[in-house]
Amino acid sequence: MDSQELEVDKDVRRAFDYFASYLKQDVWKKRRTAIESQIESFHSSEPGARLSIADDRSGWYLYLIECFLFDQQKYEPLQGCRILPIFKRLGEDLELLKQIHGIDRKINALLNRDLQNPDTTLFEILIALLWKRNGWPLVEFIDESATEKTADIRATSDVDE
């Protein structure tokens, strides 16, 4: 291995590739460019300003993981340390994650609709994954209702239920 080549965390890479597959390349390129523009503005702002990308936090998280994997000179460790362990866990258990009913809908919403508040959805995904890791054969996300409050996840011990 060349001394300049980074050793990539395979679990983080698996999770990144899986999540990135929910984005069209041209859309991701535009979002990445917008994030980098905000970073440039931050670096020219007043001292003491806090770097955070609020209008596309989902993209910001994905951008941090992409930088960690492929361009570490751009990686922001104080921001990335929040999201990196989540992607590590998701990558470690990616095959289980893919078995959760409704995961496609959740990830698609996380990356394409709910751009400002991904933390709640990531928490739900991690909880569903925990149920799956603990041996529950059927774990699924319940469709949200516009008229009433419902549970987010259903886990059953009997697949025939």
At 9-55, the pLDDT tens digits run 999 999 999 999 999 999 999 999 999 998 888 777 667 666 778 88
Question: For the whole prediction, is pTM greater than 0.95?
Answer: no
φ, ψ (nearest 5 deg) of residue 49: -65, 150
Give the pLDDT confidence of 96-107 residue by residue, as tens digits.
999 999 999 999
- Return the H-helix or E-strand segment holding 154: strand 153-156
> Radius of gyration (Cα) for the chain, nearest Å?
17
pLDDT, tens digit, 9 for 90 and up, residues 110-155: 999 888 899 999 999 999 999 999 999 999 999 887 888 888 999 9
Distance of CA 31 to CAs 24, 35, 63, 120, 135, Å? 11, 6, 9, 21, 38
Count other Cβ atoms within 10 Å, centred on residue 9: 17
